[in-house]
Amino acid sequence: MKWRRFNGEPISLPIKEEVRNAIVRETANGTRLKVCIGTDSQVKGADTEFATVIVFLREGHGGFMFIHNDRTKDKYTVKERMLVEVAKSIEIAYELCDLFTEYDVDMEVHVDINTNPQFKSNLALHEAVGYILGMGFAFKAKPEAFASSSCANKVVN
């Protein structure tokens, strides 16, 4: 899985190692961190493109993020695509959750699913919430889910 920084610089270390280094560096500087993980997608012709982000919020000092993009030719309904986004975010959250526990970093999974039933993405809300809570993670949905609806949305190819 290839990850990069927002400036496009590739991350050569395994993502877990890179996240650990970021947490150690930031906490050594006295920064309190919060991490938000989210995924967004766009359908472009025959392709569905996904962007997953790990957003590090520095309390009172901005933030930074790591980005992973991938694409598939798989066809999804809106509900299926929303649940694939959630699964991609949970996969990363699960891989990293022991680091967040070890370093006492709060983490949330952000889902690009609207809480308003008038939007198509709302069809996946019930299943997504159950999936995330069942994994033991805190979550935010639209409009509070900035990691997926703003950050990942900006970097989906």
> pTM of the full predicted structure?
0.94
| 9, amino acid identity | E
Q: What are the extents of the domains in the chain?
A: 3-155
Q: What is the chain's alpha carbon radius of gyration, rounded to the nearest angstrom?
A: 15
Q: Along the 157 residues of the chain, how does pLDDT read in single tens digits?
A: 799 999 999 999 999 999 999 999 999 999 999 999 999 999 999 999 999 999 999 998 999 999 999 999 999 999 999 999 999 999 999 999 999 999 999 999 999 998 888 888 888 999 999 999 999 999 999 889 999 989 999 998 7
Q: Tell how strand 33-44 and strand 106-114 pair up.
A: parallel
- Specify the pLDDT at position 123: 86
Q: Which residues, listed in sequence order, are joined to residue 66 by a DSSP beta bridge?
A: 5, 54
